[in-house]
Amino acid sequence: MAFNIKALVLAALVLNAYAVSAPKPVDPLASVTLSAPDGSAKAAFIPFGATTTNFWVKDKHGKFRDILLGYDNHTLYQSQADGHPYFGPIVGRYANRIRNGTFTIPISKDASGPGQKFQILENENNGTDTLHGGIVGYDARPWTLVKQSSNSVTFSLVDPDGDQGFPGTVTTSVTYTLEPKSTWKISMHATATELTPIMLSGHHYWNLEAYQETQDLVGHYAQFDSSKFIATTGTLIPTGELTPVDGTAMDFRKPKSIGNAIPETAEAQFCGTGCVGFDNAWVYDNNDCKKPVFSIWSVNSGIKLDVTTDQLALQVYSCNGIDNPALPIPRKADQGGPSERYTDHSCVVIEQESYIDAINNPEFKINQIYGPKRPYSWEATYAFSVLK
């Protein structure tokens, strides 16, 4: 994802101001390490951004691999120097993009209606839209560690009224729990003092091979039941239309290689003007919240992930443009770093969420406005296994 210099400078100034005014947390970069009760999985987190920094599961040889991208040097999670890729945090108050950084309550098409209009700090595409909640989103704030056990941790965040331009104070909690059989449960809940849009998600970058066998996604396969994806402009702003996947590279209703599908996106430029790859939101067809709706696996490592969630849609980003020669991001040591860097199309972000920018597209008929009488909830279970 590209960020302009002006936005980065402004982000740094706002972050400094926030650090001065906010209560000082106790070591927001200190690792909290969890282990599943049966020892099948391990993970590490930091309070800053409620970020997941490491996730270890066993491969087909019975050896643990850290399959989550991130930084060995935790201070880099607070830095804008690498272009800020959102490695592993919770993103909010509103995940993904908001057209022109504006919306109305009640919602209206492109904030053109008679409702009260709100302007959010814009931080992408030369200041023409808002990405992941503004210049200082939930990913860039120190959360409070509420409770911890050997296999579970809960973080909380109070987002003040008016921060980034959003109305109402929102109090959010996220609980990460490692359960037996390499199962990771994520639970998020939020309450608001006033009517306000809320859409949260986990922004985790995966390489199920931990860069051991290959440096691409050819060996990564995915399958999910979705016949439509959300149409967007060349800057990835939703138009309000749903596009059928039939006959396109966007069709993952049958298992196929992500890496092999990436070149097939070039002509249609689904991920934006001049872009090759995926950075799109699909709508789930038949999600009963009881069985997995998304699956991804590596034929090389043998590691498979099945996701069960109560969310309506899925954003997939195939790490297009993550490799900036002027700002190379070093891999973690157990992923071949720091001499090697994270390269384009070598990883995939999976975000379980609602319809993107539904607050500017009432034709989606999705209510993303929450308040004192309507709390927000997000649930997902990530079950890892080994291919038979």
Catalytic residues: 203, 351
Which of 90, 162, 157, 171 minimizes the C-alpha distance to 119?
162
CB-based contacts of 111, cutoff 8 Å, min separation 6 = 99, 100, 102, 103, 104, 117, 360
Read off the DSSP letter of residue 23.
Answer: P
What is d(CA 143, CA 153) in angstroms, rounded to the nearest whole number?
12
Strand boundaries in 76-151, DSSP class E: 90-91, 97-99, 102-105, 116-119, 129-131, 144-148
Which uninterrupted H or E stretch holds 183? strand 183-192
First to last CA, the chain: 36
Of 65, 72, 69, the residue nearest 86 (C-alpha): 69
Distance CA 357, CA 97 (A): 6
276 alpha carbon, distance to own chain's centre? 20
Q: Which amino acid is at 39?
A: G
How far apart CA 126 and CA 100 sit, in angstroms, is 11
Token reading at 183: 């199962």
Which alpha helices (H) appear in the chain, and where do they start and end? 5-21, 258-261
Q: Which residues does 339 contact at the CB level (< 8 Å), separation at least 6?
A: 330
**Closest listed residue to residue 315, CA positions, set 344, 285, 354:** 354
Could you give the angle at the alpha carbon of 63 between the alpha carbons of 62 and 69, nearest 5°? 130
64 bridge partner residues:
58
CB 54 within 8 A of CB 184: no
Helix (H, G, I), strand (E, B) or coil at 358: helix
DSSP one-letter code for 246: T
